[in-house]
Structure 1
């Protein structure tokens, strides 16, 4: 039996599914009890789902796949109350480290087929996430490095979660009203991207690609990987000293604006030019170095957009910035994974034209990407269009940073900041003739 086969054995799936179900049920009962008690006391709202500390405990108990969801939600301070987002923000790097002997065993096993490459290795982690821990080390030739070590046992848990959620998506697809939704495609794309965070050799390659692609940005730094020292369980990269976590209150107005524009310029370069996109730019992966340059860490959740998807997304974005809702609609139609037989394409174009007209040129304090995406997806459902799953990744990368952007500079114009990058990539797609509109 293969390693994957052993990981996905039925008893393990049953135990994992039972555990997830029990934790979720216990949480639901606790929320219901809390809500009922609050109402008896005259507090109509109560805490319930607004109890961020409870969410931290639940997501931590459920494990790495669910902690990733919490990390994403923690960035949405514009949509969720501080009572929820502030506790969830601790999920970015507050995971408990494995026992030292388990980490040592994992690292020694990773290098069992080659000479031990380290002169020094600090077994206590300098950072600890849901999938890996990070350790300082010095190589035999004296290089100061950071070593990312995959948590022992995490692969099995995440594969089981992937299998369970795949079964849930299949079940949803059997519901009569939902049969047209491409749940399997969406799950394979998004769930597969999360699973690829277990592939540390791919992460080392992604780190090298990001570093090369962003090398022209003088204020953005990506640590260099050391491919000859990387293994299936470890990523070894240059150590960046004196990193500082930043928050809006720690910076003056000019520095906040500079940070926002550096982040946006980097992510637009990924989305519209390179197609190698970091989808996990939450505050746990963004730091300042001693020169006040932005440092991007952890390339685990990096995806490579197919060229056709990259071009379509760029075309959509530039036409949105230009206020051309008709062309935006045509791009979505042409790139759709599925078009229903009873679709209303003209109705979709009209609805999207109105949506784009409302949002064109809005600043970050006025433009809400989450609501825009929600209304876009609603239009697609209503008029019989189902987008290519790959479109989830560009949207995810923007959704992750939107919450941070709003906190740092509410006056930045998302669309105007994208225009220099969009003009460099190529000429935007234009409609064949105005008569078709």
Structure 2
């Protein structure tokens, strides 16, 4: 009886969440439509319709944490979207509306209910508010200044319902005749599960430790050290890094900007091609400068561990793309595909990708556009009937998230050239590879 009651309650909760999402989307759809119509009637060229970033912020905030996360990722693409959209969305990276102080206090007190209160001081007013957690400054009993990341009360239920809703949508798309061969369900399970894993705070604390070890050879990259004895299933306690500055060019001179770009790309490529432990969420709310202009990476909730086979295939694809070897790139994609249609034109795909790679490798510094390249690659796969393994979404995502920000610092950055030195040592023993980096 209890199990039946639980099922009924879960179904009712899911129905209510679906109704809320539908009402919010429908309401804002009307607002966007009315705004676009007003812009047309008044003959204004901008300032309304889908380009109204403030409306997008309100829409995503109303929908909740799963959708705020989408807005955070979109806000990094300032090279592709107008500032009227990305500017307002950037506020979602660290200034989402906080829960009430009472709810936060209740959550923190409950987390340490069975043990001695571990803090001398605790600032209940958050220093940062993300879609999944709030961050508070505190002082531990031993006098250490710490940052306390507190999972938002009730967020797990909301995100699990959103996950169930998107699973149903993916299932419906998979039933469309022309889309039946697309691995929607597999993609949803992998990408959606990765987002849900951001609720696993013990895993995040472990990821912080692993990233610190993997990037220890980078003297200009800092990652806060977690304090395992103070962490709980709902809370991550880590060292507090003060005087952080937003990851923006500001008044940095050209040489410093280029050095920043090289440092960021080197760290990301190290994660992608050497370690296989990848921070996929380096948006402006998680990437900062410290007082010495060193890089600080925060929030290891969206960290993915790439299977060795995927890491090697992605590295091989990238270096062959840099060398202009489109045929080998095509072969890597074919061998790693999740599904190949019976009527797939493999030779046509090889020819199309070879042309695309030749064009990309021949581009002058700063002209290579990863987002455009990825879009055309996916178009070729769809056209010729090859469907990629969903695991490849994560390496691409990590690069796409930082691409727009990096180009703000140095529009002439050569993404491919910066990867080559790391790609060349990817098969070395780790101790020798780290020694060479140093």
**TM-score normalised to structure 2 length:** 0.94
Question: Is 2:305 the partner of 1:296?
Answer: no
Question: Is 2:270 the partner of 1:236?
Answer: no
| Contact 2:65/2:131, CA 8 A, preserved across alignment | yes
1:77 is matched with 78
Whole-Å separation in 1 of the counterparts to 2:398 and 2:7:
33
Whole-Å separation in 1 of the counterparts to 2:9 and 2:424:
48
| Contact 2:147/2:239, CA 8 A, preserved across alignment | yes
Report the aligned-residue RMSD.
1.6
Question: Is 2:191 the partner of 1:190?
Answer: yes
Whole-Å separation in 2 of the counterparts to 1:130 and 1:306:
28
Question: Is 2:251 the partner of 1:250?
Answer: yes
Whole-Å separation in 1 of the counterparts to 2:247 and 2:203:
28
| Contact 2:76/2:86, CA 8 A, preserved across alignment | yes
The farther-off stretch of 319-328 and 41-50 is 41-50
1:21 is matched with 22
SS in 2 for 1:148: strand
Whole-Å separation in 2 of the counterparts to 1:230 and 1:407:
37
SS in 2 for 1:291: coil
| Contact 1:319/1:328, CA 8 A, preserved across alignment | yes
Whole-Å separation in 2 of the counterparts to 1:207 and 1:181:
35
2:329 is matched with 328
Shift of 1:96: 1.6
Distance 1:46 1:86, change over 3 A: closer
Shift of 1:46: 6.5
Q: 1:364-402: CA deviations, max 9, x gaps?
A: 631111111111011111111111000000000000000
Shift of 1:256: 1.2
Q: 1:282-333: CA deviations, max 9, x gaps?
A: 1111111112111100001101001100000000000001110000000011
1:68 is matched with 69
Distance 1:250 1:363, change over 3 A: farther
Whole-Å separation in 1 of the counterparts to 2:152 and 2:365:
38
1:138 is matched with 139
Shift of 1:7: 11
1:385 is matched with 386
| Contact 2:36/2:50, CA 8 A, preserved across alignment | no
| Contact 1:7/1:156, CA 8 A, preserved across alignment | no
The farther-off stretch of 162-171 and 36-45 is 36-45
Q: 1:90-130: CA deviations, max 9, x gaps?
A: 11111121111111110111112222211211111111111
Distance 1:126 1:172, change over 3 A: same
1:207 is matched with 208
Whole-Å separation in 1 of the counterparts to 2:362 and 2:319:
11
Whole-Å separation in 2 of the counterparts to 1:235 and 1:362:
44
2:418 is matched with 417
Shift of 1:78: 1.0
- Structure 2 residue runs without a partner (length 5+): 429-438
Q: 1:328-355: CA deviations, max 9, x gaps?
A: 0000111111111111111111110000
Question: Is 2:169 the partner of 1:165?
Answer: no
1:433 is matched with none
| Contact 1:364/1:411, CA 8 A, preserved across alignment | yes
The farther-off stretch of 37-46 and 248-257 is 37-46
1:33 is matched with 34
1:285 is matched with 286
2:401 is matched with 400
2:347 is matched with 346
Whole-Å separation in 2 of the counterparts to 1:91 and 1:45:
23
Distance 1:6 1:280, change over 3 A: farther
Whole-Å separation in 2 of the counterparts to 1:287 and 1:386:
36
2:436 is matched with none
The farther-off stretch of 269-278 and 114-123 is 114-123
- Structure 1 residue runs without a partner (length 5+): 428-437
Whole-Å separation in 1 of the counterparts to 2:356 and 2:221:
34
Aligned length: 425
Q: 1:219-238: CA deviations, max 9, x gaps?
A: 11111111121111000111
| Contact 1:335/1:387, CA 8 A, preserved across alignment | yes
| Contact 1:135/1:147, CA 8 A, preserved across alignment | yes
